[in-house]
Chains A and B, each alone.
Chain A
Amino acid sequence: MVLTRDGARATSNEQLATTMMNALLKVQNLRTYFFSKRSGRFIRAVDDVSFEMRPGETFGLVGESGSGKSVTALSVMGLVRDEPGVLAGRVLYQENGKSVNLLEGLPNYVKLEQRDAEVTRLSKDNTNWLKAHDVKMKPLRGRKFSMIFQNPKSSMNPYFTIGDQIIESVMWGCRKKREEAKKQAVDWLRRVYIDLPERRMQEYSFNLSGGMCQRAMIAMALACRPKLLIADEPTTGLDATIQSVIVDLLLELKRELKVAILLITHNIEVIGRLSDYIGVMYAGRIMESGPSDTVLKGRRTARNHPYTIGLLQSLPGEDQVKRGARLKAIAGDVPDVTDLPVGCKFYPRCALKTPRVDKKCKTQEPPVFKVGKGHTCRCWLYTTK
């Protein structure tokens, strides 16, 4: 079933094959379900998500709201706090040749084979779960993994100065004394292009603009040179001009520090400029994943997913603007996670349904097909049978 038509990318693919060994983070079949008491069913926020990240590489997760991007990130960080019903799969973190499964050994770590009914029973005891997960994650958070959030203002504590907060995280993350940490904090603020860093250290988050606050957050997250940075919507809610500045800054730091970035955003343009690999999420699944220029081709001949194609077409391109034409919107609405279709989750909105596969799309969920080197797609269109 392996289809390789793309000979042109051979060199980078070979590279890919060799680096595959030393992946930094491997997420395999991650499932995070929440139990909804109202509907008595599981909300499958993240369903069978797999991806890998190598050092210095950016993996972009793009998708609409409710598609499970953020929950994926929170599951990796061990920050799922809303009583998950199921947290299953493997999150493998590799360092110095050793690999640890961060989800293993949780009191109610659920094996994949278990079905809904059993899982409900297990999920009742989750205080221990969170604690155990915390014990496992605590040494990693802030040292190996760090995270920046969507709203920089609400992630800073308004009662403490920016300086105090960065110093605190440096003292914890790099195990430094206060004086040293202070010096490091000032250096980092300068590095993210904040003018008068000494003065800004004394200020509170509400004195700073959104863009400046986000830069301070980036400084705080990177100050201890983590291996992995999770950036959850780092540019959302900022002005177009500031977005561009933040994107440039992340690009620069990524090159310099060789940090792997898991970038989460709904902005396809930001993803396109920052990522090496892209995963397109829809209804809790990664519908398509691959090298960013392959995914962003947005053509059926490039074996892209119909959802990716639709997303790219709904952007106002130059032609449309010139002719004043209508945009090619994806029909229908973002699906309700409590009530997903049986077959392909994108089926009701799909514009590329063909009679050949139509019946299959409606009744069977497509598995992950390999459609090129490093390029996978969950779509029946690309099955050879």
Chain B
Amino acid sequence: MVKPILKIKNLSKHFALGRGLGGLSLGGEKLLKAVDGVSFEIARGEVLGLVGESGCGKTTTGKMIVRLLGPTAGQALFEGQDVQRIPRRGLSEFRGAVQMIFQDLDAALNPKMKVRDILAEAVRLGERHTKQSLAKRLRELFSMVNLKPSKLENYPTSLSGGEKRRVSLARVLARKPRLIIADEPLSALDLSIQAQVANLLKDLQKEYGLSFLLISHDLRMVELLSHRIAVMYLGRIVETASAAEIVRRPGHPYTSALWTSTVARKKGAKVVGQLRGDVFELERPDEGCVFRSRCAVYQKKGKPKQCRVGADPELRQVRKGHSVACHFPLGKGK
């Protein structure tokens, strides 16, 4: 079997909530389980889409993979090595090989540096260059992301959203990464530009055989760009399957509801429980399935005991390559 480029084992991140933090009246010491026992793998050249509502722990997971955050428990293995245990010497190589595209473009690009300098800084970290060869390399990077070389002299503030996104992509590509963690790469872009950047990501992925973890809440785009999709809910992965399978035959009631409750739902699509309420409004239950308060199946089955007591259901395989964390997966027994 081919070794995966990234393997996540039981990764967790718990934040302690002190009293008065951000005005939250939670009282006493309470734990916020941002990510709770997440496991998945990404194969070489594969795009894994990670979807879920805001606050479900998508970005925190991404940050643990690139070692911007340390996990509370569990491991992230990049090419077989625990990213937390990479020695200092190997760190620079690791930071080149695994790159993150950040969501907030204005925060990601230094407004006081010209685009040329932003890119040159990244290039010089991994390669030695003369003045001429550096200029050539920058032009090369710019053509990879379809930007005009004249934009090299601009400051980030004078670029449009699409251009900034391309610059941030060029900077990521400068270190010849093998795995890219893309955190909402298409949000905050205009519609006509979104399509351009989506195409660009697809082309780059194919051409260089890059592996991607694509974090997004735009279900359609994830479906379009990913090979496999993992759905996250309150810090847990509730379903993984190939992109086509998960859309056509969702196994978890949450996935199904997520798909059908979006604005873009197809006319006449079967709705298994419209999602009401907000993730933040919910009290997270200490016991049983965390999704049950919004679950249509739980209501329909008359609140079965399995969902109420014991631990949160584990991911179980329902079909080949399709796992669901639910006591009553959909599409079974038909």
CA distance A210 to B280 in the complex (A): 9
Q: What residue of chain B has the Cβ atom nearest to residue A62's Cβ?
A: B191
A328 surroundings in chain B (CB, below 8 A): 195
> 0/1 per residue, A304-336, Cβ < 8 Å to B?
000000110011101011101011111001100
Residue pair B192, A310 in contact (C-beta under 8 Å) = yes
CA distance A310 to B190 in the complex (A): 13
Residue pair A273, B263 in contact (C-beta under 8 Å) = yes
How many residues of chain A are within 8 Å of chain B by beta carbon?
44
Residue pair B162, A333 in contact (C-beta under 8 Å) = yes
Judge if A243 is at the interface, Cβ distance under 8 Å: yes
Judge if B22 is at the interface, Cβ distance under 8 Å: yes
Asked if A327 meets B193 with Cβ closer than 8 Å, knowing A209-B280, A245-B276, A333-B162, the reply is no
Residue pair B258, A240 in contact (C-beta under 8 Å) = yes
Residue pair A316, B224 in contact (C-beta under 8 Å) = yes
CA distance A349 to B162 in the complex (A): 15
Residue pair A241, B280 in contact (C-beta under 8 Å) = no
Residue pair A207, B220 in contact (C-beta under 8 Å) = no
Please report whether the interface of chain B is mostly helix, strand, loop or mixed according to DSSP: helix
Interface stretch (choices A39-47, A48-56, A78-86, A264-272) = A264-272
B 219-251 contacts with A by CB, 8 A: 219-221, 223-224, 244, 247
CA distance A330 to B197 in the complex (A): 11
Residue pair B199, A329 in contact (C-beta under 8 Å) = yes
Cβ-defined partner of A333 (8 Å) among B160, B264, B275, B279: B160
CA distance A327 to B191 in the complex (A): 11
Residue pair B53, A329 in contact (C-beta under 8 Å) = no
**Shortest distance in angstroms between B42's beta carbon and chain A's nearest beta carbon?**
18
**Shortest distance in angstroms between B126's beta carbon and chain A's nearest beta carbon?**
30
**Shortest distance in angstroms between B267's beta carbon and chain A's nearest beta carbon?**
10
Residue pair A239, B191 in contact (C-beta under 8 Å) = no
Q: What residue of chain A has the Cβ atom nearest to residue B196's Cβ?
A: A329
Residue pair B190, A327 in contact (C-beta under 8 Å) = no
Residue pair A320, B22 in contact (C-beta under 8 Å) = no
Asked if A240 meets B199 with Cβ closer than 8 Å, knowing A267-B263, A314-B191, A315-B191, the reply is no
B278 surroundings in chain A (CB, below 8 A): 209-212, 239, 242
Judge if A155 is at the interface, Cβ distance under 8 Å: no
Judge if B127 is at the interface, Cβ distance under 8 Å: no
Residue pair B192, A330 in contact (C-beta under 8 Å) = yes
A 230-267 contacts with B by CB, 8 A: 235, 239-245, 247, 266-267
A211 surroundings in chain B (CB, below 8 A): 278
Residue pair A316, B192 in contact (C-beta under 8 Å) = no
Judge if B161 is at the interface, Cβ distance under 8 Å: yes
A 206-242 contacts with B by CB, 8 A: 206-207, 209-212, 235, 239-242
> 0/1 per residue, A324-361, Cβ < 8 Å to B?
10111110011000000000000001000000000000
Q: What residue of chain A has the Cβ atom nearest to residue B24's Cβ?
A: A207
Residue pair A268, B191 in contact (C-beta under 8 Å) = yes
Residue pair B193, A333 in contact (C-beta under 8 Å) = yes
Q: What residue of chain B has the Cβ atom nearest to residue A312's Cβ?
A: B191
Asked if A64 meets B192 with Cβ closer than 8 Å, knowing A321-B224, A329-B199, the reply is yes
Q: Can you list 9 contacts pairing A with B, beta carbon distance less than 8 Å?
A: A195-B281, A204-B23, A241-B257, A241-B275, A266-B190, A270-B263, A316-B195, A321-B223, A334-B162
Query: A206-B23, A209-B281, A314-B192 given. 15 additional CB < 8 A pairs?
Result: A64-B191, A206-B22, A209-B280, A240-B217, A240-B218, A315-B191, A326-B199, A326-B203, A328-B195, A329-B192, A329-B193, A329-B198, A333-B162, A333-B163, A334-B162
Interface residues in chain A, defined as those with a beta carbon under 8 Å from any beta carbon in chain B: 64-65, 193, 195, 204, 206-207, 209-212, 235, 239-245, 247, 266-270, 273, 310-311, 314-316, 318, 320-322, 324, 326-330, 333-334, 349
